[in-house]
Amino acid sequence: MPIKFFEIFEEKLEELKKNYLYRSINDIDSKTTMEIIIDGKKFINFASNDYLGLSQHPVVKQAAIEAIKIFGVGAGASRLLSGGTIIHKKLEELLCEFKNTQSSLILNSGYTANTSLIPSIAQENDIIFSDELNHASIIDGCRLSKAEKIIYKHCELEDLQKLLKNSNCKGKKIIITDTVFSMDGDIAPIKELYELCKNEEALLYLDDAHGTGVLGDGFGALRHFKLNPDESIIQMGTFSKALGAFGAFVCSSSTLINWFINSARGFIFSTALPPSIVASAYASLKIIKEDKSLIKKLWQNTLQVKEIINNLELKTTNTQTPIIPILFEDIESAKNASKLLQDFYIYAPLIRPPTVKTPRIRLTVTAAHTLEDIERLKEALKNLQGQIGMGIKI
């Protein structure tokens, strides 16, 4: 019996390998800003969501060290028992100021946030309208909820309008979207979605994981679209990307936050984030709020890399952010391209189905990339372009 058990999964793994879908982990030996060392070899990291380089910022690192000195390492319990600290509270107060909302709540990761908050607001008789390219954590959150789920075509307002009109909803309508789509780098039409929500008396749930610290002078997607938060908007975001830390948050009205405290299972039944991580997220948020130089550098670097991609006529998406994918016809070509970039010491692994439909190398630009890093990327991409047609298809 145990032998059969192994055979089943070995066969499944073999199948994945045959179809170039097998994933493996590349752990890093050490890291300084965007330079990483893997198996003793130095690479420039173009595969990180640390958009502002804050994971290496001395103030952010020191904040974690000081918090460990005072509170120790682990939180030791959930927030509703004894796991919360004054630092958790201070971060939630700062988040309210930052996102201009009545209330906020820290959650343990973006994945936990979406899989806990969505089932907590979307219940029987409700309908969720979800963009087809929403992040996997949103998809899983929708699956866990008892509401009906309707998927609309990526960023297509007409399709969404039609689906809303044809739906027979006895409860609440909830529209859920990533603000910045993590694999394509495009931005959802938040202004129009907000207006639609007003007309339909629907709730708008925004996953601002890649918008926070990047869009709207760092404040996120709502500021980017010059929209003010109100009671019909739920803003979720993460500390794990531009804030260079770990964890997530939700900002909304006091009523909704109190509801989450009383119903979101990933909040109630999980140990609180370690105070050191919370202290780092607090330090990062303060930097983003007060110092715009990193955001300026991020966008300068982004424009430079976009220009390189355009000049080389590499196939990309309708990206409007530092997430810049290069699209390939098949997985093998994308894999060869990623290897070729590695020969130039550029680290940008391929992203394959089922994460995305079209295989790609997802380049992410950060404020911590230097001119030399971008020059090296340019050389590597020139070489890649030279190889197109010779085994590499785009």
Report, in Å, the least distance between residue 98 CB and ligand PLP.
Answer: 17
Pairing of strands 103-107, 41-45: unpaired
Query: Taking Cα atoms as reference points, which of 169, 122, 162, 177 lies closest to residue 146?
Result: 122
Dihedral sign from CA coordinates of 230, 231, 232, 237: positive
> The tokens of 20 are what?
């170039």
| Alpha carbons 244 and 122: distance in angstroms, whole number | 30
Q: How far is the CB of 170 from ligand PLP (least distance, A)?
A: 29
Question: Between residues 224 and 376, which has the closer beta carbon with respect to ligand PLP?
Answer: 224
Residue 174's alpha-carbon distances to 164, 234, 256, in angstroms, are: 10, 10, 14
Could you tell me the smallest distance in angstroms from the CB atom of residue 179 to ligand PLP? Answer: 8
Nearer to ligand PLP, 148 or 208 (CB): 208
Q: How far is the CB of 90 from ligand PLP (least distance, A)?
A: 20
Nearest CB to ligand PLP, comparing residues 130 and 336 = 130
Residue length, the chain? 394
Which residues of this chain interact with ligand PLP, rule CB under 6 A?
Answer: 109-111, 114, 135, 137, 178, 182, 207, 209-210, 238, 240, 248
Closer CB to ligand PLP, 143 or 162, in the complex: 143
Nearer to ligand PLP, 177 or 333 (CB): 177
Pairing of strands 173-178, 203-207: parallel
Cα 361 to Cα 352: distance, rounded to the nearest angstrom: 9
* Least distance in angstroms from the C-beta of 139 to ligand PLP: 10
Nearer to ligand PLP (CB atom), residue 83 or residue 141: 141
CA distance to 52, 185, 189, 295, per residue, from 302 (Å): 12, 12, 21, 11
Question: Minimal distance in Å, beta carbon 380 to ligand PLP?
Answer: 25
CB-closest chain residue to ligand PLP = 110
- Residue 366 near residue 298 (C-beta atoms within 8 A): yes
